[in-house]
Amino acid sequence: MKKPRGTALLAALFAALFSFARADTLTVRVDLALHPVSPTLYGIFLEDINCAVDGGLYAELIRNRSFENENLWNPRSADHWEAWNVRSRENAGITLERENPLHENNPTFLRAGLEGNGFAVIRNQGFGGSALRGGIPVEEAKRYDLSLWLRFDETASREARVSVFLSDAAGNELSPRAEYRGSTETSGSWRRYEASLTAFETGGAYLSLEVTGDGIVDADMVSLMPEDRVGRDWPGGGMRRDLVEALRDLHPAFLRFPGGCVVEGTYVRSDAYNWKDSVSAPDAAGRREIPNTWGGMITMGVGYYEYFCLCEEIGALPVPVVHAGLLCQARDVKDPPLTMAETESYAGDILDLIEFALGGADTEWGALRVRMGHPEPFDLRYIAIGNENWGEAYFSRYAALSGAVKERYPEITCIVSAGPVAEGSLFRDSWTSIRRRFPGDLADEHFYMDSAWFPAHADRYDNYPRTTKVFLGEYAAHEPARGNSRPGTLYAALCEAAFMTGIERNSDVVVMSCYAPLLCREGEADWTPDLIWFNDTAVYKTPSCYVQQMFASARGDELVASETDGELFHSVTRTGNELQIKAVNLSGEAKPLKIFLPGVRDQTAEGLTLTGEKDHVNSFARPDRVVPQPFPCVCLNGEAETLLPPWSLTVLKFSLTE
Ligand code: AHR
């Protein structure tokens, strides 16, 4: 055989090492496929926690653009000035008003009352990340799309002017001005204005609104987004490109959204997530914001339409989660569940969501989707009803809600909560109810456990009955906290990897899985660890993220029979002409491994390994400390000898064709 270049040296090195240590063996029965691997096995879960969406994935750079900011834990203590301040004014009253608003769902707006040639500058500081020491991140020569709604009264339409521009903290201008004047035809009515601002410099900026002249000028929905975002034509405005690319890199088969706890809110009748608040055409001005369970506001700029578009963009199937008419049972919430009568009428909202995704232009909600810009239906196949719920209060409501879905849309798979824990009586009782009452639905398990639990339970699904399938909707390995956050170490990631070999081996029963949470903005962590971190200008992936990426990009279509004489966390799959081997070395010693691959032709396998020190983490300062490295492996005469690095996940791909 002609050996591929560079492999001779490696082969000699391994041979030398093999002479010192006894190798474990892995025997692969290439022709014996055990069962299909679920094509939806690896997905992602996007929840607006840690500023993941507003202040993160959503491309909006203006915080509190609508002046609707509220404090969830005391809804009457609104903080409508959040992120805004009046920098200077003369002969000008600057107030927030609610009479005669732009939209009843968006009642608060800014008013400048000018008299005797007044003047005022009001500015927004954005989400103010640490990389920029505050402010809105702008880049020299980059273009930003500005939009805002203005209303000039009769006097202002003759005598007032609004200028909008980027400035630094001292007020120096960092972009040209966009200038607006009213007109007699439009006086007294709201009108949307747009412009493109090009930044003069890179750094943290403020968006300044300078109002001069006489009369009353109202402003609302002041928005600024980078022009190079994804989904610029989506009604909500689009998403940050680097974060969309990071999600795409995960090769997600599905995208669960919007929660998590986010779906429930604090008052089920008034501020639980209602998908209808999240859709509108032609822009987001009429969407009703709600306070976010995790702090801040959900602006709905990433609403259901944009969510479905994102799924298409990254090739993932949507898995929407709706609340089940009762609040998070794990928190001490006071609001009573919906009555059964209320639950039955709420079922109509869930059916409307499905109609929004699937219905034709001749249906009420399908027509809205078409007006928003998507004539074709979205590829909706699942709906999850409830998050981390349990007990009769839940299951009776789930029965009513899922029953309504199944009757109208029998092709949709319903997902039922199996509670918030991995084991114990609450978990067992949930499964008993699910198997008895909803055996054909997917059971949504969630667990966050200490790292060592995961390899110790890699066989968790080996003996699960195969009838009711599992959707592992949230999981992560938790390390003890360092300071006030749990670190995303290589060790935690490898413990997850060991567990994932068990998921993959049992992918005839575990048909979907996703890590949680997905995204975290630096300085805004509500929950750690998280898969991907970002600030205003940078993104880094944790070792756990690379583990997810490596598994998802080598998933395989069928599980292949394999056995080891050692203690090796592994799984073997194949897709057409490719064989994928995943092996986890959860020890500090390099592990020699001899792989028997009868019938596999001589070749050097493409491989990747993720390795480092056990406690290593990635960070903004060292984003590449733990990243997958090329790891070739030679197969000669149906045998491959390799040395799994200490603390490593290794993925090898062998070609099965000549
Ligand atoms: O993933 C973070 C939170 O964990 C989710 O909101 C909730 O479902 C779970 O408790």
- Write the burial class of residue 232 (CB in 10 Å: 0-12 exposed, 13-18 middle, 19+ buried): middle
Residues 520-557: tens digit of each pLDDT: 999 999 999 999 999 999 999 999 999 999 999 999 99
Write out the residue limits of the CATH 2.60.120.260 domain(s) in the chain: 77-226
Regarding predicted confidence, which is higher, 655 or 133? 655
Pocket of ligand 1, candidates 50, 446, 530: which has the most ligand atoms within 8 Å of its Cβ, to mutate? 446
Let me know: does 186 contact 123? Beta carbons within 8 Å: no
Give the pLDDT of residue 12: 47
Q: CA–CA separation, 206 vs 209, rounded Å? A: 10
Q: Is 405 helix (H, G, I), strand (E, B) or coil?
A: helix
Pocket of ligand 1, candidates 388, 518, 530: which has the most ligand atoms within 8 Å of its Cβ, to mutate? 388
260 CA distance to ligand 1 middle (Å): 5
482: β partners: 485
623 CA distance to ligand 1 middle (Å): 26
Residues 85-113: tens digit of each pLDDT: 999 999 999 999 999 999 999 999 999 99
Q: How large a percentage of the chain has pLDDT more than 70?
A: 94
* Among protein residues, the one whose CA lies closest to atom 3 of ligand 1: 260
> Would you call 388 a catalytic residue per the annotation?
yes
Mean pLDDT score across all residues of the chain = 94
* Among protein residues, the one whose CA lies closest to atom 7 of ligand 1: 260
Q: Is a pLDDT exceeding 50 seen at residue 130?
A: no
268 CA distance to ligand 1 middle (Å): 17
Contacts of residue 386, defined as CB under 8 A and 6 or more positions apart, other chains included, come to 321, 322, 323, 324, 326, 394, 397, 398, 416, 417
Let me know: does 54 contact 301? Beta carbons within 8 Å: yes
Residue range 23-36+557-655, CATH number:
2.60.40.1180
Give the pLDDT of residue 18: 52
Give the pLDDT of residue 72: 64
- Tell me how many degrees the CA angle 140-141-143 measures, rounded to the nearest 5: 110
pLDDT-wise least confident of 67-76, 90-99, 554-563, 595-604:
67-76
Cα 419 to chain centroid, rounded = 21
Residue type, 158: R
446 CA distance to ligand 1 middle (Å): 8
Residue range 77-226, CATH number:
2.60.120.260
DSSP string for residues in 164-218: EEEE-TT--B-SPPEEEE--TTTTTS-EEEEEEEE-SSSEEEEEEEEEEEEEEEE
Grade residue 629 by pLDDT with cuts at 50, 70 and 90.
very high
Residues 241-259: tens digit of each pLDDT: 999 999 999 999 999 999 9
Give the pLDDT of residue 14: 55
Q: Is a pLDDT exceeding 60 seen at residue 617?
A: yes
Element (H, E) at 36: strand 24-36
Looking from the CA of residue 262, the nearest atom of ligand 1 is 6
* Among protein residues, the one whose CA lies closest to atom 4 of ligand 1: 260
Let me know: does 142 contact 155? Beta carbons within 8 Å: no
444 CA distance to ligand 1 middle (Å): 13
Looking from the CA of residue 474, the nearest atom of ligand 1 is 1
Looking from the CA of residue 259, the nearest atom of ligand 1 is 6
Q: CA–CA separation, 54 vs 239, rounded Å? A: 10
Q: Is a pLDDT exceeding 90 seen at residue 128?
A: no
317 CA distance to ligand 1 middle (Å): 21
Q: Is a pLDDT exceeding 80 seen at residue 115?
A: yes
Does the domain at 44-59+238-552 match CATH 3.20.20.80? Answer given as: yes
Give the pLDDT of residue 7: 47
Looking from the CA of residue 387, the nearest atom of ligand 1 is 8
Which of the following is catalytic: 210, 264, 306, 388?
388
Residues 408-463: tens digit of each pLDDT: 999 999 999 999 999 999 999 999 999 999 999 999 999 999 999 999 999 999 99
Residues 188-246: tens digit of each pLDDT: 999 999 999 999 999 999 999 999 999 999 999 999 999 999 999 999 999 999 999 99
- Residue whose entry in the numeric block shows the structure tokens 């094509």: 39
Give the pLDDT of residue 13: 53
Q: Is a pLDDT exceeding 80 seen at residue 589?
A: yes
Give the pLDDT of residue 17: 54
Grade residue 21 by pLDDT with cuts at 50, 70 and 90.
low
DSSP code for 387: S
Let me know: does 650 contact 582? Beta carbons within 8 Å: yes
Regarding predicted confidence, which is higher, 347 or 5? 347
Grade residue 63 by pLDDT with cuts at 50, 70 and 90.
very high
Write out the residue limits of the CATH 2.60.40.1180 domain(s) in the chain: 23-36+557-655
pLDDT-wise least confident of 28-32, 253-257, 261-265, 489-493:
261-265
Q: CA–CA separation, 310 vs 258, rounded Å? A: 13
Q: Is a pLDDT exceeding 70 seen at residue 485?
A: yes
Q: CA–CA separation, 142 vs 201, rounded Å? A: 9
Residues with CB under 6 A from ligand 1: 47, 49, 259-261, 387-388, 420, 474, 516-517, 527
Give the pLDDT of residue 73: 59
Q: Left (φ > 0), alpha (ψ -120 to 50) or beta: where does 26 sit?
A: beta
* Among protein residues, the one whose CA lies closest to atom 2 of ligand 1: 517
* Among protein residues, the one whose CA lies closest to atom 5 of ligand 1: 260
502 CA distance to ligand 1 middle (Å): 23
Q: What does pTM read for this prediction?
A: 0.95
